[in-house]
Every structure is written in C-alpha cells, then in structure tokens.
Amino acid sequence: MKAWLYYRLSRDEDEEMNSLYNQRQILVDYAEQQGYEIVGESSDDNVSGMTFERKGLAELENAVDEGKVDVVLVKDLSRLGRHRTQTALFIDHLRENNVRVYSVTEGIDSFNDNDDLLIGFKQIINDFYAKDIGKKVKTGIRQKQKTGLVVNLPMGYYKDRNTNEVVIDEVAADIVRKIFQKYIDGYGISAIAKQLNARGIKSPEYFSHRRISSTRTKLCKKYLWVQTSVKRILENEIYTGTLVNHKTITSKIYKTKSFVPAEEQIRHENFLPAIIDKQTYEQAQKLLENHKQGNIRAGENRTIHRYCSMIKCAECGAILIAKHRVCKKTNGLSIPATATTAMARNTVRRTEFTNHNSMKSFMMK
C-alpha cells in the first residue's frame, strides 16, 4: 500500500511534544510496521489548522489527484485540520479518490464505518479548541490595546532600543509634514505621489526596512510612492499624537474584516509625540471627505481650488466647478495674451464657478 506522510505544527502548540521531527518519526515507524511503501511526505510549519491554504496540504492533494496515494498517515486528526467543516470536506474528497486517512495515535480509519461518529466528535473538539485559543488571544490583545498597543509604527516614528520609547524620526517626519501641507495647498494625492517620486524622496517602505537590515535598505531603493501610500499618511490620526486601537475586527478563519464604530474604538490622546497639529489633520480630513463626495480630481501640474466642492447650486444642489480665466484689458479693450508687461497692472483674474447641470455661471472677482 502506498502511503503519504503528513505532519503539521501550529505556533500555539508544544513544540517538544508535537515537533515536526517527532510527528514524522511516529508516522515512519507505523508505516514500516505495516509494510507500507512511503511514496511521499509533506508538512506545514507554524500554520494554523483552521486554514486549508497550506503548501504541504496542496502537495498532498496533487499527489492524490495523480493517483499516487492509497493512504494518508497523520499523527492525529487535528494535524490534518481543525476546521470542522473544511476537514470533513477534505476527508470526503480523499474518499472520492479512494484514499483513506489513518490517525496513528488515535487508531481512527476514515474507511471504517464504525469510526464515522468518532471522527465527527473529534472534529467538533478540534474546532472548539482552535476557536477557544483564538478567543483567549483576542482577549489578551484587547487588554493590551486598552493600555496602548503599538503593533507597527508608521513612517515618521521609531522605537528607541535603549529606552523602548517611541520617538520622532525627523527626516521622515519632515516628509509627512510636507505631504499634509501640499494636500492642504490644493495638490491631489496622485500629484503629490508623482512629485515625491520625481524628487527621489524615500517611501514609507524604505524607512520601515532601514531599521531592520542594511542589506534590505539597498533593495528598498526601488520602492516608489503610490496614491495609497500618500492617502494612508493623510488619514492616519497617529501623527497628531493620538493612538487609536481596535479599529477593525479580522477573522482569519472566515476571512472577513469589519470596521468598528468610532465610539467603540480605543483612543489614547497624547500617547505619542505629535508630528502635525490637530487643526492641520482635521483640515486634511475635511478636504478628503469633500473631494470624495464631489469626485474631485486635480491635474498633474494644477492645484484644486480652495472652494472646490464647497460651493453648491442653490437650486439643484450640484457642486460648482472652478475654472480660471485671465483677461487683460487696456482702455476698455481686450488685448492679446502677448501684451507688454507694462499693461500687466490692468490684468483682471477671474474665477468662474460653473454648474454643468444648469449651465449657470457665478463670477467672483
């Protein structure tokens, strides 16, 4: 009989009792006792049994599909998986391909009808164990968040190894301040990213890797600014010194992510040294919201007008679009744009707000 050995280790388990080496040795000894031919083996290290996206499991599945395997040997059923539904579906898939699963330490055979009920109970227990561990871990993390938990520091900060305190990286912080100022001055997110790349300004990836390894720093030269990088900086309240925890809830089991309401988030005011003041941050948030609602986009070399998305038509509520025109006049007559500089004093600059829906114009001098 052709046997495939599969063994797995999760990060929350006893490495001495359940080490990959010990698991493999148990499976090899059993296969030799039964006279099985070991045609292959695979493993997954530091991977939760609640997910079935595993490299070792994929290798096993490929071998099964190719008809190379008659029996899959595991130390116990929890090694195959802890997710109740997913494990049952995988065992059914093996049965459809005439492949049995045998748990060496539990003596459970998926081809034995008498073991079907026992397999169901084992799956319930394994599933409950994993979810119970997950709840305990989340409880511990939530408690740390209440006292102030900083998982990853954004660009502009780093943790001093000697004092273990969060301090400002002035080089990176100066870039952050300029990004906020440019956005408030009317530059779009895409335009800011292009300007930073054109000037060769280092991206957040560079600063995060710089403190990890000098070797990786050389590789970080290829990292460039993108719109997402700029927007994340503009939206991050931590630059005002306020740490906000528990903003999202993520389930690795069901692969879902939900956002926590603002009133339920955990806030720590003045937790970090501030890089920008609160007024600047709030102004940037208003602009982000206004531009999002009005679907406002800035040109590559043009800024967004300060009143853009703020002035609306009183009749239909449509947002007025700002257009710039320069008219040069002398003695009441219009002159071409190539006029002499002496007449520049008579230049009149007008900003015209146009409602495309009603085709009405409002003039501001």
- Could you give the domains of the chain? 2-132 (3.40.50.1390), 157-291 (3.90.1750.20), 311-364 (no CATH)
Q: How confident is the model at residue 224 (pLDDT cuts 50, 70, 90)?
A: confident
Q: For residues 297 and 306, what is the distance between their CA atoms, to the nearest angstrom?
A: 13
Mean pLDDT, to the nearest integer, of 312-316? Answer: 78
Q: What is the pLDDT of residue 88?
A: 94
Mean pLDDT, to the nearest integer, of 67-77? Answer: 96
Q: How confident is the model at residue 346 (pLDDT cuts 50, 70, 90)?
A: very low
Please write the tens of the pLDDT for every residue from 249-280.
887 666 788 888 989 899 999 999 999 999 99
Please report where in the chains the tokens 């490495």 appear, as a residue: 15
Mean pLDDT, to the nearest integer, of 329-335? Answer: 52
- Of 30-34, 69-73, 138-142, the one with minimum mean pLDDT is 138-142
Residue 85 has pLDDT above 70, yes or no: yes
Mean pLDDT, to the nearest integer, of 323-329? Answer: 61
Contact 44, 81 (CB under 8 A): no
3-state SS track over the chain: CEEEEEEEECCCCCCCCCCHHHHHHHHHHHHHHHCCEEEEEEEEECCCCCCCCCHHHHHHHHHHHCCCCCEEEECCHHHHCCCHHHHHHHHHHHHHCCCEEEECCCCEECCCHHHHHHHHHHHHHHHHHHHHHHHHHHHHHHHHHHHCCCCCCCCCEEECCCCCCEEECHHHHHHHHHHHHHHHCCCCHHHHHHHHHHCCCCCHHHHHHHCCCHHHHHHHHHCCCCHHHHHHHHHCHHHHCCEEECCEEEECCCCEEEECCHHHCEEECCCCCCCCCHHHHHHHHHHHHHHHHHCCCCCCCCCCCCCCCCCECCCCCCECEEEEEEEEEECCEECCCCCCHHHHHHEEEEEEEEECCCCEEEEEC
Which amino acid, one-letter code, is at 64? V
Q: How confident is the model at residue 171 (pLDDT cuts 50, 70, 90)?
A: very high
Q: Which residue has the higher pLDDT, 20 or 357?
A: 20
Q: What percent of the chain has pLDDT over 70?
A: 76
Mean pLDDT, to the nearest integer, of 132-159? Answer: 86
Q: What is the pLDDT of residue 54?
A: 93
Q: How confident is the model at residue 92 (pLDDT cuts 50, 70, 90)?
A: very high
Q: What are phi and psi of 121, to 5 degrees?
A: -65, -40
Q: What pairs with residue 43 in β-bridges? A: 7
Q: Which residue has the higher pLDDT, 224 or 124?
A: 124
Residue 137 has pLDDT above 80, yes or no: yes
Q: How confident is the model at residue 210 (pLDDT cuts 50, 70, 90)?
A: low
Residue 46 has pLDDT above 50, yes or no: yes
